[in-house]
């Protein structure tokens, strides 16, 4: 894992407060929710929230909770700070936000704080809510997010030589290696401005797909959804009713 990760040591009595992005929610019995959140203060935490709530995923919330050593914390309060409402204006934007959330949930361990990862996730989902974002920009942004996330987790190849392993279309192009390194090094806005040929973009997708399949070892539901809407829906189709939960 990246060196910026810190393990959390819980006090057995102290009530904790945190701000984070809801990665996943699941109904538990009649009036409770199981929540997975990536927080700024503690990294990923899992908890149970009792009582009716309209919290969806993804959303930015503030929670008050009682830590439990076994990892399922009792959340006494959950206040909505940002519902990322504009995601509902585009199936592709909402699909990408759900994919980012599921990816972080699957690739991280509870109680390992990584504030740069939190910032990446929050900034990425916020970017997807922009009014003028286009379908091609969202598709490029997905690759950039994957590269940044793998880099923060310490599993992105350290040299171009290792990219050859994941390129199924033959010899990897020098431009592919240069583009991958540039996108990892520079900020996301600069990455969106980089001109990439269709051939290089195909190789970038092959490399990232190979790397992610190695560490995930399964297909994500949000990834399958993204593929379906990329093939069969216009980028501007509204996403009402498709949010998780």
DSSP labels for 41-66? TTEEEEEEEES-----BS-EEEEEEE
With 90 as the cut, is the pLDDT of residue 103 above it? yes
pTM of the complete model:
0.88
Q: Specify the CATH class of 6-82 in words.
A: mainly beta
Please state, in angstroms and rounded to a whole number, the distance separating the CA atoms of residues 245 and 25. 6
Please report the pLDDT score of residue 244 as a whole number.
62
DSSP-based three-state secondary structure for 98: helix
With 80 as the cut, is the pLDDT of residue 18 above it? yes
With 60 as the cut, is the pLDDT of residue 4 above it? no
Taking the domains of the chain in order of start, what are their residue ranges?
6-82, 86-232
Write out pLDDT tens, residues 52-74.
Answer: 678 889 999 999 999 987 788 99
Please report the pLDDT score of residue 145 as a whole number.
98
Please state, in angstroms and rounded to a whole number, the distance separating the CA atoms of residues 85 and 103. 21
- Cα–Cα nearest to 84, from 61, 52, 115: 61
Q: Which residue has the tokens 């009530």?
A: 15
- Torsion over CA: 161, 165, 166, 167 (sign): positive
With 70 as the cut, is the pLDDT of residue 5 above it? no
Please report the pLDDT score of residue 9 as a whole number.
56
What is the mean predicted confidence (pLDDT) over 215-229?
90
Lowest mean pLDDT, pick from 3-12, 23-32, 156-165, 186-195? 3-12
Please report the pLDDT score of residue 31 as a whole number.
82
Q: What's the N-to-C CA distance of the chain in angstroms?
A: 30
Distances from the Cα of 185 to the Cαs of 182, 211, 222, in angstroms?
5, 18, 27
CATH code: domain 86-232 is 1.20.1440.120
Share of the chain above pLDDT 90, in %: 66
Q: Are 78 and 61 in contact (CB under 8 A)?
A: yes
Please report the pLDDT score of residue 1 as a whole number.
42
Which class for 192: exposed (0-12), middle (13-18), buried (19 or more C-beta within 10 A)? middle
Please report the pLDDT score of residue 148 as a whole number.
98
Tell me what percent of the chain is helix, strand and coil, each rounded to the nearest 5: 45, 20, 35
With 80 as the cut, is the pLDDT of residue 45 above it? yes
Please report the pLDDT score of residue 8 as a whole number.
60
Please report the pLDDT score of residue 238 as a whole number.
56
The mean predicted confidence, pLDDT, of the chain is 87
């Amino acid at each position: 894992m990246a060196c910026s990760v810190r393990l959390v040591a819980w006090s057995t009595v102290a009530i904790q407060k945190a701000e984070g992005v809801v990665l996943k929610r699941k109904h538990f019995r009649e009036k409770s929710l199981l929540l997975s959140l990536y927080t700024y203060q503690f990294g990923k935490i899992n908890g149970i929230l009792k009582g009716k709530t309209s919290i969806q995923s993804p959303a930015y919330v503030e929670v008050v909770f009682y830590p439990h050593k076994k990892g399922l914390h009792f959340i006494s309060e959950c206040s909505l700070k940002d519902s990322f409402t504009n995601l509902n204006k585009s199936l592709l934007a909402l699909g990408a936000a759900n994919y980012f959330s599921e990816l972080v949930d699957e690739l991280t361990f509870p109680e390992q704080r990584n504030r740069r990862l939190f910032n990446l996730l929050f900034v990425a989902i916020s970017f997807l809510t922009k009014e003028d974002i286009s379908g091609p920009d969202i598709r490029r942004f997905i690759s950039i997010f994957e590269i940044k996330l793998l880099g923060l987790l310490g599993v992105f190849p350290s040299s171009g030589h290792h990219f050859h392993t994941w390129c199924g279309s033959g010899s990897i192009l020098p431009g592919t290696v240069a583009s991958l390194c540039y996108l990892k090094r520079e900020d996301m806005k600069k990455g969106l401005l980089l001109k990439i040929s269709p051939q290089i973009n195909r190789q970038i997708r092959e490399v990232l797909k190979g790397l992610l399949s190695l560490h995930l070892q399964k297909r994500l539901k949000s990834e399958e959804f993204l593929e379906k809407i990329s093939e069969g829906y216009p980028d501007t189709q509204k996403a009402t009713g498709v949010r998780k939960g």
